[in-house]
Every structure is written in structure tokens, then in C-alpha cells.
Amino acid sequence: MSLLTNIWGLIALASVIWVIYDVLTRNRGLSDIMKIVWIVVALVFGIFGAAAYYFIGRKR
């Protein structure tokens, strides 16, 4: 594997972990179903799912 692939994978992993952490600890206003939806979106779409959560699902 190339270095770029490894870096992309680490960034994707970090973004998924961040979404899971943020959904479960900081965004308590979400319903349980929406928490599950955002976690699945982050797992399936990686960085793009995390970006969608940041701009759409996260309460500031």
C-alpha cells in the first residue's frame, strides 16, 4: 500500500471515531434512531459522512 492510501485510511478512521464520540457524548439532543443513522452514515461513507454530520447533523 502506498503512503497516501495509509494516510487516507487513518484520516477516515479518525473521522469515524470522532463522529461516534460526538454523537454519543456531545449531541445528546438527537434521538436514538438519529444517533444510529449518523453512526452508520459515518461508517459507510467515512470522511464524507463525517463532513455531512458536521454540516447537517451537529448542533452547535
| pLDDT exceeds cutoff 70 at 60 | no
Q: Which of these, 35, 36, 44, lies nearest to 16 by C-alpha position? A: 44
Q: What is the pLDDT of residue 58?
A: 84
Q: What is the pLDDT of residue 29?
A: 86
| pLDDT exceeds cutoff 80 at 1 | no
Residues 6+ apart with CB under 8 A from 47: 11, 12, 15
- The pTM of the whole model exceeds 0.75: yes
Q: What is the pLDDT of residues 5-59, one digit of tens each?
A: 999 999 999 999 999 999 999 988 889 999 999 999 999 999 999 999 999 988 7
Q: What is the pLDDT of residue 16?
A: 96
